[in-house]
Chains A and B, each alone.
Chain A
Amino acid sequence: MIKISKFLLIATLLFAVACSTDDDGDNGGESNGGDNFDRGEMLANWADNIIVPSFVAFQETTQRLEDVSKAFAENPETTELNVLKAQYKAAYQEFQTVEMFQIGKAEELNYRSFLNTYPTKTENIESKIASGNYNLKLPSNFAEQGFPALDYLLYSYGSTEETLEFFTANPEYITYIVAVAERINALTTEVTASWEGDYRDTFVNNTSSSSTGSVDRFTNDYVMYFEKILRSGKIGYPAGAFTGSPSPTNVEALYAGDISKNLYLQALDSFEDFYYGVKINGGENGPSYFQYLKYLEDGTNSESITASIADQFSAIRAQSSALDSNLKSQVETDNSKMLAAFDELQKEVVLLKVDMLQALSISVDYVDSDGD
């Protein structure tokens, strides 16, 4: 019996060793003396001066979006419809400033997918409205809500007069619009509240260098956003970069049309501002990737990564001036310009994903496997 218990003891110890050899994000272990770049300060700058103010500002626009949609429901007239359409555009524009922050509550809620899955599934929207029976909280309904759904509902039935006429005859459409606007606002309120509450500290205090640390995780998301959402989503898919056949119906804000380029530029601006640590409410730039890379560059003699990244941002912007304000028209008239935009974005992906991540020693993969 003694033997068996000893075997068990050893087995348990082995198990403990086997299980404990993974260093998970140990919170808080800050040591910011010496000439160490202060990641805690960078995280605080991100949270306090960029992410939280961006969400607060955006939440104001979604609140107003909900309000004006309800005002329109109460009083379905031309003025109210025009106010609603304008607010939809304003909110969609503002959304571009927070779309990249898919971390914490936003990640948990699938925030981006609920607010901006496009192209929207128009037949499903029609059938849902017809049945009057829908639950927008289901993940299976990503493509029937958010801004792309509003885009379809507000702009696909013709002029404001025609649309108004259609809604007056079919008031269930207005109900759906209100539900979508409410849902956008509710999700945004939840994410904003989380940042204003506990999550800010959780995020800022997790300065661990492991793959579960905030800097690692956020940076992975940030770079992934640029590659998949900005480059592929806003430019690549409509241009048919991955299929060979241009697909104009894949543009963002397909029905409102003339705002699609502005949405793209806003996303680009916000992304670049974040890179430089530009504070939403003004003041000198705080620490962000640019400052972090500068700090690391001082010690090496390699060519400047920050200069290359800055040049590429300029090249992307210069190229974008050739684009039509309606990206759908651009795809239809001269798709080569869209592909050119894709190629410029692509060069920045290489700089961010290869050069920047290598300099920061952040691993791209999410599998926390062993190294040599």
Chain B
Amino acid sequence: MQLSLGKYLKKTTEAAPLAVFRLFFGIMMFASIVRFWLNGWIEKLYIAPKFFFSYYGFDWVKPLGDFTYLLFILCGITALMVAAGYKYRLAIILFFLSFTYIELMDKTTYLNHYYFISILSFLMIFLPANAYFSIDAWRNPARAFQKIPQWCIDAIKLLLGIVYFYAGLAKINSDWLFRAMPLKIWLPSKYDLPLLGDLMQQEWVHYAFSWSGMLYDLFIPFLLLWKRTRFVAFLMVIVFHVLTRVLFPIGMFPFIMIVSALIFFSPEVHHKILNFISKWFSISKQRFDNLKTHQFTGIKKKVSIGVLSAFFIIQLLFPWRYLLYPGELFWTEEGFRFSWRVMLMEKAGYAQFKVVNAKTGNRFYVNNSDFLTPFQEKQMSFQPDFILQYAHFLADHFEKDGHENIEIYVDSYVALNGRKSTPYIDPEVNLLNFADSFKHKTFILPFEDEIKGL
């Protein structure tokens, strides 16, 4: 075992797939940032709100007012630098930091896709993605390498595999498979799609999509790994992601996944891609084909492999943390995020906060729109950690306004996957008695139904 691991770590391969990956990744990220900006989302999501929902432990990460735009500019420029492989290490570190900072500013905007980008860019810090077909390699032939260790490419395949496989595991539950929820709610509302609109009304289609989605996620990593099924699998990747793009407001993500899946192809394919690009831009690709191998040595090797091993162990274990919490995961959402639970729930809620003076019994309701954007209010209304953080914010706010002996209660209702709305948070509980933590939130009322499965 010791031997074969050592052997594996010494195995080398062409650097071309990683170079192609770096190039497309950078371009996609740049396009995403530009799109985000042009949609006016920087203003809407990070400048306009008066209050931001922080991740536990990250309440020091806040939008920077108008400087938030600079953050996005930094993120966009470093994405381009990554694409070009120009001062790569610095660029990917800055990209990781700025992108992650942006995501940490307000958890209202949490998406699995953004988390994926964050950890992928973290992973890329430790990979020699600029060894080949990069400005760095062009300018400094001493640091140009045609070959790199095999594990550098496998690391990306492994991360993609985890994302797909875990997303597939999460779909093994009774709502998804036996009630076709939430697709049964989402698909019929796409009545105006050309050709597909009427099909989306059929119940069997909802079930077919649910089951095939689950099977796709579970098996696609393996079909991509195996040479004989690879090409068909890649076609499936394209069809699947284009379909999700057509059906759901999912942004750039489908394109990112399609391009990422190219990493599974052999080096020859990537050389062809690079040849094509070289011709188009009249770049002499031969300059990079120096047959040299990039070797990780000494401390660098130890740190890289150590960090990445820890990284993957965490990635493999973290999604299972929900098992440590009592209650239905979809209902409490304790351990829901960062676990590749994608498109699993149609959840909506309504939360009416009540501010009570404990001494006089005087009470009044809070107008949420005084403090939150509609988007924030929507996200807050069905997630307990949001509700708790907001309750504390309200207490601070009304205390400043001169109110005394404040207690905060909430009347809240949540509907999950087409079930009728039911009370969500115990209305008799003063939320100020609780501080946010990773512990189970006892003020969540139990889920009145059962969802079987993982």
- Given A14-B34, A33-B198, A209-B192, answer yes or no on A371-B418 (Cβ-Cβ < 8 Å): no
Does B197 belong to the interface (CB within 8 Å)?
yes
Nearest A residue to B203 via CB reads A299
Name the residue on A nearest B403 (C-beta). Answer: A244
Whether A359 sits at the interface, judged by CB under 8 Å, is yes
Segment of A66-74, A248-256, A350-358 engaged in the interface with chain B: A350-358
Chain B residue contacts of A346, Cβ below 8 A: 352, 411
Chain A nearest CB, measured from B229 CB (Å): 27
Contact A372 B113 (CB under 8 A): yes
Query: What residues on A are CB-neighbors of B329 within 8 Å?
Result: none
Binds A, one of B38-46, B142-150, B289-297: B38-46
In the complex, the answer to whether A232 meets B367 with C-beta atoms within 8 Å is yes
Provide the residues of chain A in CB contact with B421, threshold 8 Å.
350-351, 354-355
Tell me how far the C-beta of B21 lies from the nearest C-beta in chain A, rounded to whole angstroms: 18
What per-residue 1/0 map shows which CB atoms of B354-376 lie under 8 Å from chain A? 01010000111111010001110
- Residue B440, interface by CB 8 Å: no
Q: Kindly list chain A residues whose C-beta atoms are within 8 Å of the C-beta of B112.
A: 372
| Given A34-B201, A353-B350, A354-B349: A2 in contact with B282 (beta carbons within 8 A) | yes
Interfacial residues of chain B within 171-208, with CB under 8 A of chain A in the complex: 184-186, 188-194, 197-198, 201, 203
* Chain B binder among A15-23, A50-58, A261-269: A15-23
Q: Is B342 an interface residue (CB 8 A)?
A: yes
Would you give the 0/1 interface string for A355-372, flagging 1 where the beta carbon is closer than 8 Å to chain B? Answer: 101111111111111111
Please report the C-alpha to C-alpha distance between residue A354 and residue B350 in the assembled complex, in whole angstroms: 7
Interface residues on B, range: 35 or more
Q: List the A side residues contacting B31 at CB < 8 Å.
A: 14, 17-18
B346 at the interface (CB under 8 A from A): yes
Contact A355 B250 (CB under 8 A): no
Interface segment out of the listed A84-92, A98-106, A282-290, A301-309: A301-309
CB of B321 closer than 8 Å to a CB of A: no
Q: Are B374 and A364 in contact (CB under 8 A)?
A: yes
Q: Which residues of the partner chain A approach B253 to less than 8 Å between Cβ atoms?
A: 370
Judge whether B348 is part of the interface by a CB distance below 8 angstroms.
Answer: yes
Tell me if B330 is interfacial: C-beta within 8 Å of chain A.
no
Which residues of chain A are within 8 angstroms of B413 by Cβ–Cβ distance? Answer: 350, 354
Say yes or no: is B414 at the interface (Cβ < 8 Å to chain A).
yes
The answer to the question of B67 belonging to the interface, with a C-beta cut-off of 8 Å to chain A, is no
A residues near B (Cβ < 8 Å) are 2-3, 6-7, 14-15, 17-19, 21-23, 26, 29-31, 33-37, 39, 207-209, 213, 228, 232, 236, 240-245, 296, 299-300, 302-303, 305, 308, 346, 349-351, 353-355, 357-372
A-B contact pairs, 17 of them (CB 8 A): A31-B194, A34-B198, A36-B191, A37-B191, A209-B190, A242-B364, A299-B203, A300-B184, A305-B420, A353-B348, A353-B350, A354-B350, A362-B189, A364-B374, A368-B39, A370-B251, A372-B112
